[in-house]
A = this chain, B = another copy of it.
Amino acid sequence: MTNSDELKNIFLFSELEDFELENILNFSRIKVYSKGEIIFFDTEPYIGFYGIIDGYVKIYKISPEGREHIIHLENSGSTFAEIPMFEKYLAKTNSTHCYPANAMSIEDNTKVIRVPESDFLSFLRENPKICMKMLCSFARRLKFLNSHIGSIILDDVTKRLLKYIVKKCECNCTDNNSVKECFECTIELDISKSDLASHLGTITETLSRSFKKLQNENIISVKGKLITIKNLTYIKKIIK
């Protein structure tokens, strides 16, 4: 597979012509990270956004007390750290800015492309097609954040966990086969439970207890990273 073929896996670039992809490749840089490697810190000056060709990345913040919170979990096809590109249009000051959070590869051989800010912005201004793609990807993220923030405020940890599992199951069900009625469904967690805790806005101990609770109530069964939900159709109805 050539580099420009790989780029088509990234949603933002998926409808570009080959010559446009070549153009992007010319001014960008591809790099492979192993599990646990930092892609950027929130103290580094901003130089451009990233696209994930393959792998898994967490975007997170650390509180002064040292607690971690994962804002986003992104995998193959996603882009991240685009927001600071639009900073200069929003801020009155023209000061240099940093990355808004930390990014870490959480899977071995995570392959990313870094696209420099200035080159891409001129590209963007001349490409309504890629503008629309980017608007879609922003819209998707806004939608996620809106519902996630509501869930953090209004739901307890157990309900947040259940919603997470159900969402994963739904992806699975529609991907594999189009079963409308899906009672039992098994997923494999693709992240560690501590990352999941941090993503759900809690800590590992509390998450562990929530898993326990759902098992005791006979809603799910857990075997290591394998989670089976007993009656998806029913659960979907009650977690609304």
Task: Give A237 to B90 CA distance when docked, in angstroms.
Answer: 23
* C-alpha spacing A85/B89, complex, angstroms: 23
Q: Which secondary structure dominates where chain A touches chain B?
A: helix
Binds B, one of A32-40, A122-130, A182-190, A211-219: A122-130
Nearest-Cβ distance from residue A125 to partner chain B, whole angstroms: 6
A179 at the interface (CB under 8 A from B): no
- Copies of this protein chain in the complex: 2
Contact B150 A61, beta carbon cutoff 8 Å: yes
Please give me the residue from chain B that is nearest to A71 by CB atom: B146
**Contact for A132 among B124, B142, B240, CB less than 8 A:** B124
- A92-B174, A101-B146, A135-B135 given; 12 more Cβ-contact pairs under 8 Å: A61-B154, A63-B154, A69-B154, A71-B149, A89-B132, A90-B139, A125-B132, A127-B128, A138-B139, A142-B145, A145-B146, A148-B149
